[in-house]
């Protein structure tokens, strides 16, 4: 058995999708949430939460596809593969929170190593077997959240890397 460390990083986001009602939508729109005219406490007050981290929907984290790098190391730490250019055909894409409901999509813009996998393989790593799972959240923010290797998910081997926040962006969606 061989172990490989696969790191997805670069510029990306942690995204908190809050489903909101019509009144909340109008308040956010009128007060200019998308133009950064509300403070953290005001946004949380309208959402009736203590913090963005109290999102009732699971947050999602990952690099933007067009700003992503992938680094693969073997169990001794030797670099096996590294690139920042990928074929979009290697990405399984899905839209979520793009339905008829209204959402406030809070995007925490982050940089660094987003997701790290330590996966066991029977054979040597083959870049041709690596695929990415990408989500377009609220039809506003597209990030790569997971990998597939040889069509298998490795979520039990997934952890989060070292990254830093560069600020928040707010997106209102009014449904389709």
In the chain, which stretches have pLDDT less than 50?
none
> Distance between alpha carbon 67 and the CA centroid of its chain, in Å?
12
pLDDT of residue 143: 97
Distance between CA 99 and CA 152 in Å, rounded?
A: 28
Domain tally for the chain? 1
Q: How do residues 43-86 score in pLDDT, each as one tens digit?
A: 999 999 999 999 999 999 999 998 999 999 999 999 999 999 88
What is the reported pTM?
0.91
pLDDT of residue 176: 56
Taking a C-beta distance cutoff of 8 angstroms, is the pair 123, 41 a contact?
no
Domain that holds residue 34: 2-173
């Amino acid at each position: 058995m061989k172990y490989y460390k696969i790191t997805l990083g670069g510029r990306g986001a942690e995204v908190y999708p809050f489903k909101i009602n019509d009144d909340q939508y109008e308040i956010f729109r009128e007060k200019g949430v998308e133009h950064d005219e509300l403070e953290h406490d005001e946004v949380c007050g309208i959402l009736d939460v203590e913090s963005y981290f109290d999102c009732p929907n699971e947050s999602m984290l990952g690099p933007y596809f067009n700003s992503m790098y992938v680094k693969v190391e073997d169990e001794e730490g030797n670099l096996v593969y590294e690139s920042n250019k990928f074929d979009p055909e290697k990405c399984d894409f899905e839209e979520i929170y793009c339905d008829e409901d209204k959402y406030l999509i809070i995007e925490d813009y982050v940089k660094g190593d987003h997701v790290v996998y330590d996966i066991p393989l029977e054979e040597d790593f083959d870049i041709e077997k690596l695929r990415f799972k990408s989500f377009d959240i609220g039809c506003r923010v597209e990030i790569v959240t997971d990998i597939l290797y040889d069509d298998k998910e490795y979520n039990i081997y997934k952890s989060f890397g070292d990254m830093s926040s560069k600020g928040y962006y707010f997106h209102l969606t009014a449904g389709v």
